[in-house]
Amino acid sequence: MLLYKLFRQGGLVAFLVLVVCAVCAAQSSEPSSVEIPLWRFDELTAPGSCRMMGRFQDKKYCDSKVVDQVLSLGKGAIPILISELTDDRKTKHSIYDLWKYTTAGDIANSLLFDLFTGSDLNMTYMPELDSLQRDCEKPGEACWRKFVHKKGRKFVQKQWEAAWDAHQNDIYWDDKARCFRLASTVSQSASTGHVGTPQSSGARQN
């Protein structure tokens, strides 16, 4: 009887140990909870100046703690920005000149394109993003809203997810160009334009 009780107690202890280990393993495998608060986007420069000239990462045009956080994360910021493409929370005021409003998802999309665009305005080509090329000649906001209404933010997110899955191991930061490149880089002129980018309107309006 004593041996039976000890066996039962030992079995219970072993079971509890297995449960605890399983919980710990599950927690360790969970993705990072790092968040980039794009809906609280700050501009230490004048409101709207971050999209009037240059790129988000050009500090002389865009002085922002949020952008500083993005750059400090390196390419680890890319999947976080992709996850925020569907975030429709609005910023306190539009951060794009001449736009009525901007959301966290709008900013995430433009940030991603800017981060892959060199100082010469040539963007690293990724075929997975071809479907995000502009399909209208309207001003930036009108073009972007039309595209999102037709395709949905989830569609935009899926294209970026495909690009990340295909190229994440080849992405590196080019200090001179201040943008992400691929190990085998093929550049695409920014004049081609993508929805949600400045070139979609022919001027830096988004």
**pLDDT value of position 97:** 80
Determine, yes or no, domain membership for 81: yes
Q: What is the pLDDT of residue 50?
A: 74
Instruction: Please choose, from the candidates 180, 202, 194, the residue with its C-alpha nearest in 3D space to the C-alpha of residue 57.
Output: 180
Domain membership flag for residue 170: yes
What is the helix (H) or strand (E) element at residue 131, kind and residue range?
none
Q: Quote the domain boundaries for residue 175.
A: 36-200
Question: Quick one: pLDDT at residue 158?
Answer: 98
3-state secondary structure at position 181: strand
Within a domain: residue 22?
A: no
Are 63 and 44 in contact by the 8 Å Cβ rule? The answer is yes
Q: Would you say residue 89 lies in a domain?
A: yes
Q: Determine the pLDDT at residue 8.
A: 52
Residue 141, domain member (yes or no): yes
Structure tokens at 38: 């794009």
Q: Is residue 75 part of a domain?
A: yes
Which H or E run includes 174? Answer: strand 171-174
Q: Is residue 16 part of a domain?
A: no
Please give the Cα distance from 139 to 144 (Å, whole number). 9
pTM, full prediction: 0.75
Grouped pLDDT means (10 residues each) for the chain, 206 residues: 47 43 42 80 69 83 91 97 97 87 95 95 93 77 92 97 97 95 66 46 38
Contact between residue 197 and residue 113 where contact means Cβ atoms under 8 Å apart: yes
From residue 120, alpha-carbon distances to 88, 116, 123, 176, 178 in Å are 31, 11, 9, 11, 11
Dihedral angle of Cα 34, 85, 68, 175, to the nearest 10 degrees: 110
* 15 within some domain: no
Contact indicator for 161, 81 with CB cutoff of 8 Å: no
How large is the greatest C-alpha to C-alpha distance in the chain, in angstroms?
A: 86
Total domains in the chain come to 1
